């Protein structure tokens, strides 16, 4: 699959087969996230792969589908730096990394869903991260169960402008 096919095929998955992800596949996906560019090449974000079902169920209890995923990735960072444009370098770095992860997952036959609805402090404590750490995002990961209907996207031209 080329990059454009991966981008087109990627979608949010909320139903997973109940089978673990092979370690080799998981490591390839995580390596893709580690290859993402970061501000000043600081590489300050970290990804924790959670495979313990009991911990997974507690990460986002208000979203029941999360507990069905065989793996949840937690992207975190320790400390932050505001870039000249006013944005958090660590949040942007974490987001770029997770975008790479989501495309690599598709290449591996996996799917996932980026979560923004979770208690970051609860996740930090459950994962045993230091008090100075911030959990920027959670991402469910697993083998998609069945076909997920494609959501309708706006025409691409409505989302960009060439000047």
pLDDT of residue 103: 97
**Kind and range of the H or E element at 135?**
strand 133-142
Transcribe 67-109 into DSSP letters.
GG-SEEEEEEEES--B-TTSSBHHHHHHHHHHHHHHHHHHHTT
Length reported for the chain: 163
What gap in Å lies between CA 142 and CA 150, rounded to an integer?
A: 18
Nearest CA to 126 out of 65, 85, 66, 36 is that of 66
End-to-end CA distance of the chain: 31
Fold of 18-144: NADH Oxidase (3.40.109)
DSSP 148: P
Residues of the chain with pLDDT under 50: none
Q: How much is the pTM?
A: 0.93
Distances (CA, A) of 21 to 26, 69, 104, 112: 6, 10, 13, 12
pLDDT of residue 139: 98
pLDDT of residue 149: 81
């Amino acid at each position: 699959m080329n990059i454009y096919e991966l981008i087109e095929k990627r979608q949010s998955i909320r139903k997973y087969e109940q089978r673990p992800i092979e370690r080799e596949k998981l490591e390839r996906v995580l390596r893709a996230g580690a290859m993402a560019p970061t501000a000043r090449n600081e590489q300050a974000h970290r990804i924790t792969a959670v495979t313990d079902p009991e911990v997974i169920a507690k990460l986002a209890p208000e979203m029941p589908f999360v507990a069905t995923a065989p793996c949840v990735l937690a992207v975190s960072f320790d400390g932050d730096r505001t870039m000249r444009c006013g944005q958090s370098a660590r949040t942007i770095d974490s987001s770029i990394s997770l975008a790479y992860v989501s495309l690599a997952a598709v290449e591996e036959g996996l799917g996932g869903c980026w979560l923004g609805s979770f208690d970051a402090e609860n996740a930090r404590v459950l994962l045993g991260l230091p008090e100075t750490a911030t959990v920027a995002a959670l991402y469910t990961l697993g083998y998609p169960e069945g076909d997920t209907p494609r959501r309708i996207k706006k025409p691409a031209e409505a989302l960009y402008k060439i000047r």
